Structure 1
Amino acid sequence: MAVSVSQMLMQGLDELRFQPTAKRIRALRGDVVVADSTRAALVWEPRRVVPVYALPVADVAAPMTASSAAAAPEVPVPLGDGDPVLDPRTGFGFHSSPGTALTVEVDGTALDGVAFRPDDPELADLVLLDFEAFDWLEEDEPIRGHPRDPFHRVDVRRSSRRVRMELDGVLIAESDRSMMLFETSLPLTRFYLPREDVRVALTSTATRTWCAYKGEASYFTVEQAGEPGVDVAWSYERPLPDCPQIAGLVAFFQERIDVIVDGAPMVRPRTPWSEPA
């Protein structure tokens, strides 16, 4: 019997997963090199959808001791119709696999709980490091947001399908020249539209986020869509080289508005962005 690849991958979500990488990985704290390795791995703890770097203990230059930090709270978020998952909103300090939390001392400063040594024998020689606690290089390239998943793709395709977006019957945007963005594991297609095809005024907000695959996003509120001041749309003015086609285009949270494609209404998906932050 045929097996859906996406379902097969989701079935492994409850497992502790790892993938070795051939890249040289470095963790820095300011000018101090905390770890430097060509034997690193990406590790996903159970229910995590974003990996962290794990490096051999021998390649960590800073002293490490057992941590007394309290566990971070667990913040499950929806992703499609399956069980809730853990994304970066659940901080590094929450661990869904057995192991020992560690404090890392860097230049006289104790960074409590920013490392974790799992008990699993396959990972016995590795230590996981909190991405947010350090600056990271893959080879000589800075990495922001989180480590990139080698099994994650972002594809952008030009489309002439007519996309119409409404809220309570009010037309928000309409276009037959969108860029459709397909991203692995996300249960929806994102529609990036030319600004001239947006039929309502966009008001910039102070919100900025960083995507490891697309770059820095700036956000907008729309009086006709949602509560005043709540982010409902975003744009990548200078996207990373992976997605140059979406530069300056506008996407809306279709989890919160009605989207009609070629006359067919789409079901609002369940994602971490279904509710305003």
Structure 2
Amino acid sequence: MTTLPTAHSVRTTPEGFQWEPSDRWVRGVKDEVTVVDSRHPVLVWEPGLPVPQYAFPRGEVRQDLLRPAAHPPTGAHAGSRVFYDLAVGGEPLRNAAWTYPGRELAGHIAFAWFQRTGPGLDHWYEEDEEIFVHPRDPHKRVDALPSSRHVVVEIDGTVAAETRRPVLLFETGLPTRFYIPREDVRLDLLDPTDHSSRCPYKGVAEYWSWRGDADVPGNIVWSYPDPLPAVAAVRGLLAFYNEAVDITVDGERRRRPVTLFTWALFDRTEAGRH
């Protein structure tokens, strides 16, 4: 039996880009000006990059705000593309938009996202919900499940948290995160920081650092005070980076995973961030 491709099958271009049409209504805003208003976006996965980017038909983009880039970038990811500066308000935003090479994605324009690829559009929306950093990958899953597992978190031999009512967050490609009620966390051993981060699947996070003398990175504890609806179960709970602490689950000590966060955490520590 032959399986025919659906309208939303992922396609691969001769240049190595993967792309897929999306039914989502997507808007991009810069300085309160709607630059993109698209009901026909496509998701594009660039070679070597783990998360997708949106590209939009030219007719759904404010092309009157685009100017040929005065100083287009060079390098592997810039090859065979046309870059544009975005003129909204004051100084033009350099290289804020670009085209992809090849016939299949011709007629589409992609944009930089604030806090991902440098200066870019300030706000993005899928339907009526704001999203952050990059588009959500339709092939990635995030589940937040209440549990009765016994979870103990230790930092340099000191128990920093212990609970039998965690919420386990399972996210494709990342280690399981254990979200713990505040009442079960030694908050007296933590200091709040002014650091924050954004996640397209979970929302905006706030952070804490360890107060002790142990050689651990800063901002190793985080919480989502107002998470996105899909992960509402983690609201106000605290999670520790598995990469930097010792976590025991039901009596079994978990190995510290090595992830894309490992380098970032310890590199910032060596640079004297905290």
Cα distance 1:72–1:197, how it changes in 2: closer, same or farther (>3 A)? farther
Tell me how many residue pairs correspond in the alignment. 244
| Cα pair 1:62 1:105 within 8 Å, conserved | no
Alignment of 1:124 with 2:106, yes or no, is yes
1:177: which partner in 2?
165
The alignment-based identity, stated in percent, is 37
Q: How does 1:146-225 map to 2 (within 5 A)?
A: 146-186=134-174, 188-199=175-186, 201=188, 202-224=190-212
SS in 1 for 2:104: helix
Distance 1:146 1:226, change over 3 A: farther
State the Cα distance separating 1:243 from its structure 2 match: 1.2
Decide whether aligned partners of structure 1 residues 56 and 226 sit closer, same or farther in structure 2, where only a CA change above 3 A counts: farther
- The CA distance in 2 between the partners of 1:96 and 1:265, in whole Å, is 45
- Structure 2: distance between partners of 1:225 and 1:23: 48
State the shift of 1:137 in Å.
2.8
Q: CA RMSD in A?
A: 2.6
Alignment of 1:44-193 (within 5 A): 44-63=45-64, 64-69=66-71, 71=73, 95=77, 98-106=80-88, 109-132=91-114, 133-134=120-121, 135-186=123-174, 188-193=175-180
| TM-score, scaled to structure 2 | 0.79
Aligned 8 A contact 2:83 2:97 in 1: yes
Deviations 1:80-111 (Å, cap 9, x if unpaired)?
Answer: xxxxxxxxxxxxxx827642222233357532
**How far apart are 1:15 and its partner, in Å?**
4.3
CA distance in 2, matches of 1:260, 1:29: 45
Which runs of 4 or more aligned residues in structure 1 lie more than 4 Å from their structure 2 counterparts after TM superposition?
A: 225-229
Unaligned 5+ residue runs, structure 2? 1-9, 115-119, 269-274
Return 5+ residue gaps in structure 1 as ranges.
1-8, 74-93
Describe the SS at the equivalent of 1:270. Answer: coil
Three-state SS of the structure 1 residue aligned to 2:261 is coil
User: Match of 1:269, SS?
Assistant: coil
Contact 1:16 1:97 in 2 (8 A): no
TM-superposed CA distance for 1:71, in Å, is 3.6
Within 1, Cα distance between the matches of 2:167 and 2:191? 22
Aligned twin of 2:272: none
Specify the code of the residue in structure 1 equivalent to 2:180.
L
| Aligned amino acid, residue 154 of structure 1 | V
Q: Is 1:163–1:174's contact at 8 Å kept on the other side of the alignment?
A: yes
CA contact (8 A) 2:216 2:244 kept: no
Q: Distance in 2 between matches of 1:50 and 1:72?
A: 21
User: What is the aligned partner in structure 1 of residue 31 from structure 2?
Assistant: 30
| Native 8 Å contact 1:53 1:131 kept in 2 | no
The answer as to whether partners of 2:57 and 2:109 remain within 8 angstroms in 1 is yes
